[in-house]
Structure 1
């Protein structure tokens, strides 16, 4: 019984190790200098090229070329030669002329030492394990698992709370600084330049309203409940 539990744990460990190996390979590929292969290819066509000419041909700036050649020199791939006039040229070493060995596939690495017959037998054993687990989970377990993941991702998204507006209604323009109509939480609030508290139960008028309609442009004390004329100061005094 203990051996069977160890088999399941070992399968999980192996799956994790394969994932780690794949990540390491991706990181190595991302960190590799892409100019190395270009320099090697050019030097195989023409050896002993001046560094300035190489940078021009490959379209690489001087700083990047210097860093690439320095790294290749430390790896023993190239040799930088300095002429009497101070000019520099680059040549491949014997190691640089050799084809870089390609990395083996992870499947070949993992099953190194297995014969084809052993690999086929192992695949059959794993297939039997898969069939047993499918009977436990159900034939549609993959679809259900994808639906569960999608629902979990959806739950993690921030819900739409109507931006910075009221708790149940539409808020006004972008420059509004308050949290919406204090009384009517499902009503519309005024325009973007509104800076005063909104009307506590209904529609708010224009900018200079105080409770009723205000008169003309030069009016200074709008009457609170009725119409006031342009030159009025407490009511309509006379008619000119």
Structure 2
């Protein structure tokens, strides 16, 4: 069976341009190790992309926040100094300082620098955390194979390893999708999303749990009062 040709990869950290590396399953251990390295390198490239984007945003955001702080201080101090007579003719510069502060804050909000910095940080940390889980799960599976599994065939062991890699790839893709969704929400609404990552999932009822008991109100149940006929006109 011929091996498929390698397709050119996309930009670093772009999972859409990465294809499975070709290989021969005649040696399952070597093939699994190759796939593990491929998945691990893809996760590292995704984390590096977010970290590089975070560094670029951090420099610009720090500059804009510094301009905002300097403008606010100048806008508050210069008119006060002009009013007390300590420095004459500096009130207009204070107004320009306030204008600079508003411009810097507006640019930060319009370009999403601070919010993008937070998104990149959360996404990079989440990818690294999931990568650590993958490494320990893979080490546990390798130790299990070295010690000799008590049950199961070699095909089942390969299927377990492929399941670990597939779930990890889906988790990383979900992190990227969530970050992209947050960016789209911010781009459309003009403000950062409040809580996209921390939305709790609804709890499913436990079929083995006993049914909840309904206790009557204090004093017993309220009796049903019979309807009274309206008084007849005299």
Please, what TM-score do these two structures have when normalized by structure 1? Answer: 0.26
**Which structure features the higher share of strand residues?**
1
**Which structure features the higher share of helix residues?**
2
Higher alpha-carbon Rg:
1
